[in-house]
Amino acid sequence: MTDLSLLYEAILKGKSKSAVEITNLALADGAEPKMLIDEYMIKAMGEVGRRFENQEIFVPELLMAGRAMKASLNILQPIMKSSGEKTSIGKIVIGTVKGDLHDIGKNLVASMLEGCGFEVIDIGIDMDSDKFVESVREHNADVLGLSALLTTTMPYMKTVIDAFADAGLRDKVKIIVGGAPVSAGFAAEIGADGYSDTANSAVTTVKELLGIK
């Protein structure tokens, strides 16, 4: 039998290749995908998050863990889907607002959310409010993530939030904001539901907003 603690260790240490190998071995042994995710992988990511918050590891290690988690999920989720099991814990549309071409922060957040079991629809950069509304409506998303890296583009986040109110969708979707110049105060000022300043805290914030423990 496969030693499943090695799966936990592989995710924790961000070793994608090992995570994939152990996941495949575990499945060959008859392990249930959901059990692997719940009992080993999510717990490993929880420990990764704890170490990151305590500044024992830093962004690269956080991303490596998320990458390893995603690599295993890519094996497990199709199996779960084929047996009718739920494969994501929430759906998120994410994008960088109009006028802003930066995408690294957005991509980090998207990657961590995917690694933690969310379905992420990344609509890209330089997106206007209509596109955000259209995407959330089309995908029936639970959460919208808005990113901006410039002080000149961050006010557009309020334009997007106002567009959701105008479209009658504001109470249907939680909206979180982030990016270098964005602060918790600014998020509250423009009526966002949440704010995060790291990819890790974005996961925590989204889980809190959706009541996921």
Contacting positions for other proteins (CB under 8 A): 13-14, 55-56, 58-61, 63-64, 66-67, 99-102, 104, 107-108, 111, 150-154, 180-183, 185-186, 197
Cβ proximity to other proteins, 100 vs 142, nearer residue: 100
Between residues 21 and 61, which has the closer beta carbon with respect to other proteins? Answer: 61
Minimum distance of other proteins from residue 171's CB (angstroms): 28
* Shortest distance (Å) from residue 183 CB to other proteins: 6
- Per this entry, what is the length of the chain? 213
Report the residue number, 185 or 211, with the smaller CB distance to other proteins: 185
CB of 73 to other proteins, least distance (A): 14
> Which is closer to other proteins, CB of 136 or CB of 147?
147
- CB 120 to other proteins: min, Å: 12
Q: Between helices 199-210 and 59-82, what is the axis angle to 10°?
A: 40
Least distance in angstroms from the C-beta of 83 to other proteins:
28
Nearer to other proteins, 23 or 198 (CB): 198
Tokens for 149, please give them. 């890296």
